Amino acid sequence: MNRMNIVRGIVCAVVVFISCGAHAKERALSTDVVVVGAGSAGLSAAVSAAEKGAKVIVLEKMPFVGGSSNFAEGLFAVKTDQQRKKAIGLTKEEAYWHAMDYHHYRNNADLLAQTITNSTSVIQWLEKQGVRFEVVSMSPTEAPTWHLVQDRGTAHHGAALIQALQDKATELGVKILFETPANGLILDGSRVIGVKALNAKGDSYTIKARSVVVATGGFNNSKEMIKKWTRFDADKVFPTVPINKTGDGINMALAAGADHEGWGLMLHPGTHGEGIKPLGSLYAMTWQPLLWVNKYGDRVVDENAVWAFTFAGNAIERQRDGFVWSIWDDETVRYMMEHGIDNGLGVLVPIGTKLKDLPDEIANAVAKKSSSIVTGNSVEDLAHNMGVEPARLKQNIEQYNHAKEVGHDDRFYRKADTIVPVKTGKLYALKVFPYNFVSLGGVKTTRNMEVIDKNDNAIPGLYAAGADVGGLYGDTYATWTSGMLFQFSCQSGMLAGEKAAAFSKL
């Protein structure tokens, strides 16, 4: 682009900006229920409220619906028809006891119990909206509770569920305002009576409502909120999907006096750098149970932690400088090309996916001098390129390989038959970082999803759903109950919409 085109572009942008400001309007609307956010929680709330006869307006800050739910895959549930047909006998009691043990009783036990109890009915409700499911296990370490959303036309998994809910919302007369983020609640004393918003054109909205549901998808794209509310270094945990989830609903509720709990992030392994493709072959290697060492070349964990992606994310995040090196050899490259990966990235990159372009992606990243992938013709050569002490790395690789040979890992008690040796041909080391898919924690609510204040009193007219709600987890997302947050988003949205509609008629 030449200088004249650049100038023209700047002039056009200024004209558009001035025009927007000049034509910005003050808009006043009224409705029964306002839902802030059009993800799975917000759309569930909108549909549920409209089914109860409420007039509903949805405010969505992005130009599309779905948020991070578009990238989700399945919902947790117990005692569903899908499980019955596969003779899966897991009970709700067993699921609850297992989950409570996992969370060390640091979570809201009542909220978790309700979420498990209602898991059957929310699947049934979604089926009535046109969503279809297949029950699977996400990994060998997890229960068969993951209800994978089936495709809807060209939409896959989470996006298919979102499309079904949007279609139903349209059918029921729900009005969705895109690129119109809410920026504050309207209060009459302690009662919430509406929302203020500002759209991309500069138009301001004052929307009076009998009740409001905040369902803005959490805060995992906000470094400020991560720093303020969680134990994580916001500069060392990377967002999986950067779609502007900045805690808008949570912050509005907090400003209205809401209490809060359960802050955290859902971590998982990932990588990035020059020449590395998002969800490509190198990214898939970060989820495989290979040798992991820290910045000094020392093993740090039983690498089978990667079967539970949140365990793996935790293990990586706590390392000095927030990464580990995943190390493998030419034999592993051959295996991944011919047989495929052993641990899938959900169903986005399923188990058995053959990484046929792995050598090419490695070569491309190395040629671009990526700091995240190095190779070596020997342990000493690899150590040099990693920036670690050769003798130290060699000792750790030898201990790892020896554990395979003798059938016992005396360092981290990894099952020896699962160890993938590092000793054939060229060697490779890939930096693995902690990524976060969604935030955990937010405002406290009642069983009816009413937001409560610091005296445990419901704030009249204010409800919350999905990732804006705290208390479902302890300090870590439980992969054993895979899809719990996706299911909770739909269930809490369904319940919040129903209760908000009832409140609007009082």
- pLDDT at residue 12 in the model: 40
DSSP character at residue 70? G
- pLDDT at residue 17 in the model: 38
Positive or negative, the CA dihedral 174, 178, 180, 181 is positive
Burial class (CB in 10 A: 0-12, 13-18, 19+), 382: buried
229 sits in which H/E element: helix 223-229
Instruction: Count CA within 13 A, CB hemisphere, residue 180.
Output: 20
From 23-27, 128-132, 192-196, 453-457, the region with the lowest mean pLDDT: 23-27
User: 349 has which bridge partners?
Assistant: 345
What residue has token string 């029950």? 135
User: 431 has which bridge partners?
Assistant: 325
Residue 260 sits at the vertex; the CA angle it makes with 257 and 266, to the nearest 5 degrees, is 145
Positive or negative, the CA dihedral 115, 116, 121, 122 is positive
- pLDDT at residue 130 in the model: 97
DSSP symbols for 57-68? EEE-SSSSSBGG
Q: What is the pLDDT of residues 74-115, one digit of tens each?
A: 999 999 999 999 999 999 999 999 999 999 999 999 999 999
Go through the domains of the chain in sequence order and give each one's CATH number: 26-259+444-504 (3.50.50.60), 266-435 (3.90.700.10)
**CA distances (Å), origin 320, targets 268, 293, 315:** 17, 11, 11
Closest CA to 177 of 152, 157, 204: 204
CB 74 within 8 A of CB 483: yes
Separation CA 282–CA 410 (nearest Å): 29
Positive or negative, the CA dihedral 269, 271, 277, 278 is positive
Average pLDDT, the chain: 94
Burial class (CB in 10 A: 0-12, 13-18, 19+), 73: buried
Separation CA 91–CA 209 (nearest Å): 41
- Global pTM value: 0.93
Q: What is the pLDDT of residues 270-315, one digit of tens each?
A: 999 999 999 999 999 999 999 999 999 999 999 999 999 999 999 9
CB 355 within 8 A of CB 281: yes
